[in-house]
A and B are shown apart, each in its own frame.
Chain A
Amino acid sequence: MGILVRIPTPLRKFTGGQATVQVEGSTVVEILKDLDIKYPGIREKLYDGQDIKRFINIYLNDEDIRLLGGEQTSVSTGDKVSIIPAISGG
């Protein structure tokens, strides 16, 4: 099933400039795995070893996955996953 993933500006170089992409999976970890298969190199920007980097937030719809089931959080058709990185410009 297809899940929409919102790609923030700093990572759009991996998706050919696309702001949203469609990937497959039934948990957040599967979604992020498929994202890296379709857009190689993106995983390295999100992970520090086995863990998602502390300054990268992943949201399922409008909820922080860290406050749900973490990477094992289930996703289903119609859900939207958003990657929200730390930005500091002013």
Chain B
Amino acid sequence: MFPFTEEQIRRYSRHIILPDVGGKGQKKLLAARVLIVGMGGLGSPAALYLAAAGIGTLGLLDFDVVELSNLQRQVIHSTKDVDRLKVDSAEETIKALNPDVSVNLHKERASSENILDIISEYDLVLDGTDNFPTRFLINDACVLAGKTNVYGAVFQFEGQISVFSPHQGGPCYRCLIPEMPPPGSVPSCQEAGVLGVLPGVVGLLQATEAIKMILGIGKPLLGRLMLFDALSMETFEVKLDRKKDCPVCGPDSGPIELIDYEDICEI
């Protein structure tokens, strides 16, 4: 394996002296390839800390531009970035933070046509999307490709976090939510509002799980769904077992076909 430069030894010294990480762990991080889908509330803090940690390759997938209303929580972008593509703005911030990170930009909407090709370039996927259709697409593609999917979702003051890795025996997203909720059954994204710091907390819990999975340390949220309530400042967790009747990772699920669902979020 490659030796550290002197600058890297200084930059990552707090990892290198950490018993469960060390030089060996830091090299794993530098060799890791992580795809972050969505450069919004969850993806922004996750990308910043994964970059700071020295994840060697970060893929950023988003087709959207920065809006002023994003800046209350999407901390990788700045006021000067309004109207720029989110991935361009994020790349600039990441490069300024840590030039070790090589950044791949995927300036497109995730679809059944492109998602498998994109995912195939990475070891692990961090789901930072803001809609059900993309969450189902990412899940199904990760199951198909045998990639770990670090899940996070937020609503107003509440967040959910888990790690889906059916190729290692755990459940997938569809073991939690088998089908797309029908239109009108859940509040639409824009009308609901979100406490700005909430996706910060949840996105960093996702980044923590991603780093643990790469290092192979600790007890990840495999088969566990963690719930976080910012108002009561309580966390609790429930068991998330692989469902026998899961339409995607169940034993009788048949071949997986990627689906482009209509977005139920009214704009």
Contact = CB atoms under 8 A, between A and B. Distances in A.
A15 interface: no
B25 interface: no
Interface stretch (A22-30, A33-41, A53-61, A71-79): A53-61
Interface string A47-90: 00000011101010011101100000000000000101111111
A2 interface: no
Given A10-B186, A19-B229, A84-B227, A90 B128 contact: yes
Contact of B239 (A54, A64, A85): A64
A85 to B, nearest CB: 7
Nearest to A19: B232
A85 B178 contact: no
Interface in A1-26: 6, 8-10, 19
B88 interface: no
B131 A88 contact: yes
Contacts of B256: none
Interface in B221-239: 225, 227, 229, 231-232, 236-239
Interface in B182-237: 185-187, 189, 192, 194, 199, 225, 227, 229, 231-232, 236-237
Contact of A90 (B41, B178, B231, B238): B41
Contacts of B192: 10, 89
B4 to A, nearest CB: 35
B241 A87 contact: no
Contacts of B153: 87-90
A62 B186 contact: no
B98 interface: no
Interface of A: 6, 8-10, 19, 53-55, 57, 59, 62-64, 66-67, 82, 84-90
Given A57-B176, A89-B153, 15 more contacts: A6-B236, A9-B157, A9-B231, A10-B187, A54-B178, A55-B185, A82-B227, A84-B160, A86-B132, A87-B154, A87-B186, A88-B186, A88-B189, A89-B130, A89-B199
Interface of B: 38, 40-43, 127-132, 135, 152-158, 160, 176-179, 181, 185-187, 189, 192, 194, 199, 225, 227, 229, 231-232, 236-241, 243, 265
B238 A88 contact: no
A61 B159 CA distance: 18
Given A55-B177, A82-B236, A88 B156 contact: no
Contacts of B40: 90
Contact of A64 (B129, B135, B186, B241): B241
Nearest to B176: A57
Contacts of B176: 57, 86
Contacts of A55: 177-179, 181, 185-186
B231 A89 contact: no
B155 to A, nearest CB: 4
Nearest to B44: A90
A63 B42 contact: no
The interface centre, meaning the residue of B43, B232, B239 with most chain A CB atoms within 10 A of its CB, is B239
B172 to A, nearest CB: 14
19 contacts: A19-B232, A54-B178, A54-B179, A82-B227, A84-B227, A84-B238, A86-B176, A86-B177, A86-B181, A87-B158, A88-B153, A88-B155, A89-B130, A89-B153, A89-B154, A89-B156, A89-B189, A90-B154, A90-B199
